[in-house]
Chains A and B, each alone.
Chain A
């Protein structure tokens, strides 16, 4: 008897514990952009003074090594058909300036989103008939950082319309979903705890205008998706693969949420 009572008690309790609905903001207007201080702020505002100085100085910024390598790759010929990126993308045509604002964008198949790194691989495979670089590889992030650097100082301007709204909604859903053993959602930290400290790290609004970013803890430039994985791990949630459709949807929502910020890649983060 006692056994069945505790079983009953157990199921009752479990229905109270860990509710995932009731999250502040998820039911607001689809296009609300909440920040605790009400003002849009780049992650740069939360850096320590020395880190910020390093970020602002192209000679000291270690991310510039990636940009320089990217520039070299961009101008060199890849395998078979003797093409380099700059033959199709140069000051006269398709210059790629401002291009980061188009990403993540709808792929030509119209059924999936692609990010900058995936687009670069598409050009490599489809137009240059060469082998794609592995995601998160030095080469691919160097090209990506170089293209982002060309747009440094321009405002991020992500447009949502009927073609990508479905992905935007999915991204917003993911942003507000409590995940992991710690049962935390992105918005709980990045919408409500701006300026507070998680151990030694000051929490920012969680924008991506500085990506690809040089991560001091790893000593390499990392993509937006790599940063997402890291935040997932902190909540003890299973990270998704880099390039995963859900990460692209999340990136679309976050890019839109930060629209108006200036591109600052390569930024420096802890």
Chain B
């Protein structure tokens, strides 16, 4: 009787552990650390791919051109809600660009620039995007690596 009870207890603790681990895994996308207005650590390991980053910036995946102008890109409809990204690789260090993509609200709580790495504390997200960040960690690293070539 006692033994059975113990096994039951162990099983419950075990399931709970798995549950906690799983939910942390789901949230782990958003773990990062801000120091001196930068996020130094890449969001994922591995070599970034700047050409893939370029593709994300100009396509609807990142949709950066909706709000930003980049002169070197041949596309007639570019927005001007945010500043031009020309020379942005000169103005900012890698860690500063990462902060701007991951948490623009840190510098400007009213920022119109969306966080590309936020999947919580959002209201009425369209179902197909719910729980997802706009870009993945991998895609953000690729974008940063291309932005750094804009000099």
Contact = CB atoms under 8 A, between A and B. Distances in A.
A19 B111 CA distance: 10
A181 B126 contact: yes
B77 A199 contact: yes
A249 to B, nearest CB: 15
A179 to B, nearest CB: 5
Contacts of A23: 110
Contacts, number: 111
B105 A16 contact: yes
Contacts of B112: 184, 188-189, 193
A214 to B, nearest CB: 22
Contacts of B125: 179-181, 236-238
A6 B25 CA distance: 12
Contact of B30 (A10, A177, A196): A10
Interface residues of B, number: 37
Contacts of B47: none
Interface in B14-59: 24, 27-28, 30-34
B80 interface: yes
A142 B80 CA distance: 37
B26 to A, nearest CB: 11
Contact of A183 (B66, B81, B106, B115): B115
A237 B33 contact: no
B138 interface: no
Nearest to B34: A13
A208 B73 CA distance: 35
Given A177-B123, A180-B122, A13 B80 contact: no
A20 interface: yes
B35 to A, nearest CB: 12
A196 B34 CA distance: 32
B105 A199 contact: no
B5 to A, nearest CB: 29
A22 B120 CA distance: 18
Contacts of B32: 13
A56 interface: no
B81 A238 contact: no
A16 B129 CA distance: 22
Nearest to A200: B77
Contacts of B118: 17-18, 183
B77 A237 contact: no
Given A7-B24, A237-B126, A14 B110 contact: no
Given A183-B115, A183-B122, A236-B125, A197 B79 contact: yes
17 contacts: A3-B24, A7-B24, A10-B27, A13-B32, A13-B103, A14-B121, A17-B118, A20-B123, A178-B123, A180-B122, A181-B126, A183-B115, A188-B110, A197-B81, A199-B65, A238-B127, A239-B126
Interface of B: 24, 27-28, 30-34, 65-67, 76-81, 103, 105-106, 109-110, 112, 114-115, 118, 120-127, 129, 132, 134
